[in-house]
Amino acid sequence: MSKLELSSLYQLTMVRFRLFLREPEAIFWIFIFPILLAAGLGIAFRNRPADVLQVGATTSQLTQALAADKGLKATTIDETAGTHALATGDILLLAIQKPDGVEYKYDDTNPDARAARLVADRAVQVAAGQREAVHSGNQLVHETGARYIDFVVPGLLGMNLMGSAIWGLGFSIVEARQKKLLKRLVASPMPRWQYLASFLLSRLAMLVIEIAAFLGFARLVFGVPFRGSLGQLAFLCVLTSLSFSALGLLIASRAKTMEAASGLMNLVMLPMWILSGVFFSATRFPAVIQPVVRALPLTAAIDALRGNMLQGMNLGQLVIPVEILFAWLVVPFAVSLRIFRWR
Amino acid sequence: MADGVTETTGAMTGSDLGAVLPVEVQMMSGPSLLLRRLRKTFADVVAVDGLDLEVMRGECFGLLGPNGAGKTTTIEICEGLTPPDDGTVELLGLNWASGANELRQRIGIQLQETQFPDKLTVEETLRLFRSFFRRGISIEESIRTAQLEEKRRSRVGTLSGGQKQRLAMACALVGDPELLFLDEPTTGLDPQARRHLWDLVDQLKQAGRTIILTTHYMDEAERLCDRVAIMDHGRIIALGTPSQLIASVGGEHIVEFAITGHETGQGLVDLALLTAIPGVQSHRVDAGLHQLSVRELHTTVPRIFAALTGQGLHLSEFRTHSATLEDVFVALTGRNLRDE
């Protein structure tokens, strides 16, 4: 046997790899699922060329006036049928010919309908002979980095780092405790720190694959930008993963059954899935709960990842989220080492 | 009664012993295991109640008793897994307070109910455990000893109960331990797997290792152990070699009989007549079944028949067997091991 094979840290870490790789479900959730999710979201929220807006008009004259604008597709329809079409979403706006002019019927809480109102009115005014007072032209820009997919990729990355660290550590440790393997290990001369270190080492190695696969996909398929330093991005990923590993360790430090651990994990992760701005900006939540939202590790992680990837910020500009992540690394780790139940 | 139980009344207490005999304790000639006034209470249950024990090097020692007698607690205190409330523990001349790391290197442990990861192979599991020990035997040797050659590349999840238990034994052996703890090594195994494991323990005994095992199977203790301590309610109620213990019941044979027509039968049999028969050591009744412990079957059995016939009684059952540790336990506690 080689020297390496005799090293208990090496053996413990290899065991972590083997157990992970022999669990097909884990591979799916950690490697494949985030990519599928990104692909799905990328397709669903892709920025299409400006849509042609469906509108209706009560007279054919009005229809002609509206159809003159390329942004509108107009059909002639009577008022009753038009109201029905509005309700079912077939058209966004109904232009009604009145003796004294034109009236627009639309839902003003729908942004598309509001746009239709502006375009339709302009078309009607132009048809009536209005000329623009100031000449205006357009210069079109399709900026990467401002699309939804660009926004959501760092969010999904943060969410994935959280899930793989908490599940990876939490379930394995609690399972070992439940099966009395932990007790058997501490009865052996195994150095206890190595058991925990093996989780961190295997986590870091898996992290490389996980991040490379996910970000590589986002880059190649959607052209998601990397505006910040890649080295600093790697640092942020490692820090995030370690913070959530510490949290996973804390969750696993006393739970005796998988059910208890599972409940605790959901309790910890569910609020963050919702509050931490994975799919939409966390700033949308009311100001009262903002301090709580800001203090969550996933919010800090996603803020830092977005800052790096989308805005090209360096670590100096990301001091606050990095500090929050460090706090989430140190405190849970220290607490779990104190309260960890080895049997 | 056997010699060991009287140790409690010895003039020397555990702490005195440590002070007076440090040289001997340090030397290889000292006992492998020394327990003095060991106590452990869980909530309001006294699991171990003032236990004294000495196990010599090279001995195969059995802690025997029903479930809940305190065997596992005792062995886990010895293994350093459970701290005792009171008393001293010394293994190989070391104690857990100052020599924990050294001790873990030198003892081998098989726990009840350890489940090794299903998705590791036998070889990988052994390699992991081997890496914890500074010195020890090769993986090949441990696989050979546990007779798992054909299973070395199989995943643990596919092993039978007996094979899993042999793997647990192999994991206990990889560090080439001087002292081996086996906690109920055959519980839950089928008879063939049990015998297979007994053969393995026999081999280890012949290799000169000190083995301490717990069991609630009397036949197992009789078959494997040089000396046995019978435990009940956290105390040792008898200590000695299996044959000494069996002799302590007073007869080497047990005669069991029941009387026709009377479920209880008790009132009808004149006990005085029976116990007056020379060679009958004791009598007890359990659910209509009379048990006599008897020294010589060939002389006493005819007299028992004569006595029963003389009272006009008819036998519905009559059998004899050699006294076992089971009978020792029954004689000492009035209960069967199986009742627990």
Cβ–Cβ under 8 Å, residues A201 and A13: yes
Domain shared by B313 and B214, yes or no = no
Domain shared by B13 and B119, yes or no = yes
Cβ–Cβ under 8 Å, residues B137 and B176: yes
Chain A contacts in chain B segment 78-117 (CB below 8 A): 79-81, 101, 104-105, 109, 111-117
Please indicate whether, in this complex, the C-beta atoms of A179 and B115 are within 8 angstroms of each other.
yes
Q: Give domain status of residue A270, yes or no.
A: yes
Interval A88-104 mean pLDDT: 89
Cβ–Cβ under 8 Å, residues A277 and A267: no
Q: Give domain status of residue A24, yes or no.
A: no
Cβ–Cβ under 8 Å, residues B55 and B212: yes
Domain shared by A179 and A64, yes or no = no
> Chain centroid to CA B275: how far?
32
Domain shared by A290 and A149, yes or no = yes
Domain shared by A63 and A197, yes or no = no
Q: Give domain status of residue B179, yes or no.
A: yes
Task: Please state, in angstroms and rounded to a whole number, the distance separating the CA atoms of residues B291 and B284.
Answer: 5
B128: nearest CB among A12, A176, A189: A12
Q: Give domain status of residue B333, yes or no.
A: no
pLDDT of amino acid B84: 93
Chain A contacts in chain B segment 167-186 (CB below 8 A): 171, 175
A and B: number of Cβ contacts within 8 A: 70
Other CB atoms within 10 Å distance of the CB of residue A331 = 14
> Chain centroid to CA B257: how far?
29
Please indicate whether, in this complex, the C-beta atoms of B114 and A8 are within 8 angstroms of each other.
no
| pLDDT at position B108 over 70 | yes
- Strand-pair partners of B210: B179
For B179-236, what is each residue's pLDDT tens digit? 999 999 998 888 888 998 999 999 888 888 999 999 988 889 989 999 999 999 899 9
pLDDT of amino acid B21: 39
What are the chain A neighbours of B114 within 8 Å (beta carbons)?
179-181, 183-184
Domain shared by B129 and B256, yes or no = no
Mutation site for A-interface testing, chosen from B127, B132, B141, B187 by largest number of A Cβ within 10 Å = B132
Query: How far does the CA of residue B115 sit from the closest CA of chain A (Å)?
Result: 5
Q: Give domain status of residue A15, yes or no.
A: no
Domain count across chain A: 2
Pairing outcome for strands B253-259 and B289-294:
antiparallel
Domain span including residue B183: 4-241
In sequence order, what are the residues at sequence separation of 6 or more whose Cβ sits closer than 8 angstroms to the Cβ of residue A233? A226, A305, A308, A309
Task: Please state, in angstroms and rounded to a whole number, the distance separating the CA atoms of residues A304 and A236.
Answer: 7
Tell me the residues of A at the B interface, defined by beta carbons under 8 Å apart: 1, 5-8, 10-12, 14-15, 18-19, 22-23, 176, 179-181, 183-184, 186-190, 343
pLDDT of amino acid A68: 85
Give me B24's structure tokens. Answer: 């001997």
Query: What CATH number does residue B265 fall under?
Result: 3.30.70.100
Least-confidence region, from B21-25, B99-103, B118-122, B292-296? B21-25
Task: Please state, in angstroms and rounded to a whole number, the distance separating the CA atoms of residues A18 and B119.
Answer: 8
B114: nearest CB among A8, A10, A180: A180
Q: Report the chain A residue with the minimal C-alpha distance to residue B96.
A: A187
Cβ–Cβ under 8 Å, residues B290 and B257: yes
Other CB atoms within 10 Å distance of the CB of residue A91 = 26
Domain shared by A115 and A168, yes or no = no
| pLDDT at position B265 over 70 | no
Mutation site for B-interface testing, chosen from A5, A184, A343 by largest number of B Cβ within 10 Å = A184
A187: nearest CB among B81, B116, B130: B81
Cβ–Cβ under 8 Å, residues A56 and A75: yes
pTM of the model: 0.77
Domain shared by B18 and B166, yes or no = yes
Domain shared by A169 and A96, yes or no = no
Q: Give domain status of residue A288, yes or no.
A: yes
Query: What CATH number does residue A60 fall under?
Result: 3.40.190.10
* Buried b / exposed e along B275-292 (16+ C-beta atoms within 10 A): eebebbbeeeeeeeebbb
pLDDT of amino acid B24: 38
> What is the phi-psi region of residue B64: left when phi exceeds 0, alpha when psi lies from -120 to 50, beta otherwise?
beta
H-assigned helices in chain B:
14-20, 22-26, 71-78, 96-106, 122-130, 139-145, 161-173, 191-206, 218-224, 242-248, 271-275, 297-310, 325-333
Residue bearing tokens 């070391």: B94
Give me B29's structure tokens. Answer: 């000639």
Please indicate whether, in this complex, the C-beta atoms of A181 and B116 are within 8 angstroms of each other.
yes
Report DSSP letters for B74-103, one per residue: HHHHHTTSS--SEEEEEETTB-HHHHHHHH
Least-confidence region, from A39-53, A185-199, B275-289? A39-53
Q: Report the chain B residue with the minimal C-alpha distance to residue A175.
A: B117
Interval B256-282 mean pLDDT: 75
Q: Give domain status of residue A6, yes or no.
A: no
Domain shared by A177 and A294, yes or no = yes
pLDDT of amino acid B159: 94
| pLDDT at position A71 over 90 | no
Please indicate whether, in this complex, the C-beta atoms of B131 and A6 are within 8 angstroms of each other.
yes
Chain mean pLDDT for chain A = 89
Q: Which of A133, A134, A162, A184 is nearest to A266 (CA)?
A: A162
Q: Report the chain A residue with the minimal C-alpha distance to residue B172.
A: A188
Give me A276's structure tokens. Answer: 């931490």
Domain shared by B157 and B300, yes or no = no
Domain shared by B232 and B137, yes or no = yes
A8: nearest CB among B81, B120, B132: B132
pLDDT of amino acid A145: 66
Q: Which of B74, B11, B2 is nearest to B42 (CA)?
A: B74
What are the chain B neighbours of A19 within 8 Å (beta carbons)?
117, 119-120
Domain shared by A310 and A241, yes or no = yes
* Per-residue CA distances from B30 to B7, B9, B33 (Å): 16, 21, 9
Interval A157-167 mean pLDDT: 93
Domain shared by B192 and B264, yes or no = no
Domain shared by B230 and B204, yes or no = yes
| pLDDT at position A85 over 60 | yes
Please indicate whether, in this complex, the C-beta atoms of B105 and A189 are within 8 angstroms of each other.
yes
What are the chain B neighbours of A198 within 8 Å (beta carbons)?
none
A15: nearest CB among B115, B120, B132: B120
pLDDT of amino acid A141: 64
| pLDDT at position B28 over 60 | no
Domain shared by B229 and B297, yes or no = no
| pLDDT at position A4 over 80 | no
Domain shared by B231 and B139, yes or no = yes
Domain span including residue A68: 53-127
Q: Give domain status of residue B153, yes or no.
A: yes
Interval B278-305 mean pLDDT: 84
For A240-287, what is each residue's pLDDT tens digit? 999 999 999 999 999 999 999 999 999 999 999 999 989 888 888 999
Give me A284's structure tokens. Answer: 């949308």
Q: Provide the 8-state DSSP code for A282.
A: G
Q: Give domain status of residue B220, yes or no.
A: yes
* Per-residue CA distances from B121 to A14, B60, B151 (Å): 13, 31, 8
The long-range contacts involving A192-196, CB below 8 angstroms and separated by at least 24 positions, are A192/A342, A194/A8, A194/A9, A194/A12, A195/A12, A196/A249
Domain shared by A86 and A117, yes or no = yes
Query: How far does the CA of residue B103 sit from the closest CA of chain A (Å)?
Result: 8
Please indicate whether, in this complex, the C-beta atoms of A189 and B101 are within 8 angstroms of each other.
yes
Which amino acid would we find at residue B224?
L
pLDDT of amino acid A232: 96
Domain count across chain B: 2
Domain shared by A220 and A275, yes or no = yes
Domain shared by A73 and A118, yes or no = yes
Between B118 and B315, the higher pLDDT residue: B118
| pLDDT at position B12 over 80 | no
Least-confidence region, from A190-199, B260-269, B319-328? B260-269
Q: Give domain status of residue A2, yes or no.
A: no
Least-confidence region, from A49-53, B141-145, B273-277? A49-53
Q: Give domain status of residue A87, yes or no.
A: yes
Please indicate whether, in this complex, the C-beta atoms of B104 and A183 are within 8 angstroms of each other.
no
pLDDT of amino acid A293: 93
Domain shared by B138 and B169, yes or no = yes
Domain shared by A92 and A162, yes or no = no
pLDDT of amino acid B14: 38
Residue bearing tokens 């024990």: B53
Domain shared by A75 and A208, yes or no = no
Least-confidence region, from A198-202, B3-7, B190-194? B3-7
Interval B284-299 mean pLDDT: 83
Q: Where does a domain end: B241, B273, B308? A: B241
Between B218 and B108, the higher pLDDT residue: B108
Query: How far does the CA of residue B105 sit from the closest CA of chain A (Å)?
Result: 6
- Strand-pair partners of A273: none
Query: What CATH number does residue B142 fall under?
Result: 3.40.50.300
User: Hey, is A130 helix, strand or coil?
Assistant: coil
Q: Where does a domain end: A127, A159, A185? A: A127
How close are the terminal C-alpha atoms of chain A, in Å?
Answer: 31
Q: Which of B238, B153, B168 is nearest to B201 (CA)?
A: B168
Q: Give domain status of residue B274, yes or no.
A: yes
Domain shared by B66 and B207, yes or no = yes
Chain mean pLDDT for chain B = 84
pLDDT of amino acid A29: 82
Q: Give domain status of residue B147, yes or no.
A: yes
| pLDDT at position A21 over 60 | yes
Q: Report the chain B residue with the minimal C-alpha distance to residue A189.
A: B104
pLDDT of amino acid A2: 67
Which stretch of DSSP H or E encloses residue A133?
A: none
Give me B173's structure tokens. Answer: 């052996």
Please indicate whether, in this complex, the C-beta atoms of B114 and A6 are within 8 angstroms of each other.
no
Interval A278-301 mean pLDDT: 92
Q: Which of A194, A297, A209 is nearest to A20 (CA)?
A: A209
Torsion of CA B17, B23, B28, B34, to 10 degrees: 10
Q: Does B241 touch chain A (CB under 8 A)?
A: no
Name the pLDDT band for B13 (thresholds 50, 70, 90). very low
pLDDT of amino acid B10: 36
